[in-house]
Structure 1
Amino acid sequence: MKVMISAFVAALVIAFAAPPMLNQFGWSSAEQTSTESVSLD
């Protein structure tokens, strides 16, 4: 039971820590797919 609770806690920590860490390294999809030159019609 302790192992399962530890796994849930670890999953929650990873789920909450991943987005800020990925944004810090510039690995967000918005940074990879956006360009500076945008044509507006």
Structure 2
Amino acid sequence: MKSMYLAFLAAILIAVIAHFGLDYAGFSSRDVTSGPAVRLD
């Protein structure tokens, strides 16, 4: 049971680090999918 909790924690950590890392690198979905003709409010 402890190993399952550790695996869940590792998956959450990887997801959070990837989210902030990709956002910092300019690969967020907002930056990747919008072009100059798209207005974001």
Please, what TM-score do these two structures have when normalized by structure 2? 0.58
Deviation at 1:3, TM superposition (A): 1.4
Number of aligned residue pairs: 39
Please, what TM-score do these two structures have when normalized by structure 1? 0.58
Residues 2, 33 of structure 1: alpha-carbon distance in 2 compared, 3 angstrom cutoff: same
Map Cα deviations across residues 20-41 of structure 1 (whole Å, 9 max, x no partner).
11111211121112223x378x
Q: CA RMSD in A?
A: 2.2
User: Structure 1: which 4+ aligned runs deviate by more than 3 Å?
Assistant: none
Query: What percent of counterpart residues are identical?
Result: 41
When Rg is computed on C-alpha atoms for both structures, the one with the higher figure is 1
Higher relative contact order (CA 8 A, sep 6+): 2
Extract unaligned runs of 5+ from structure 1: none
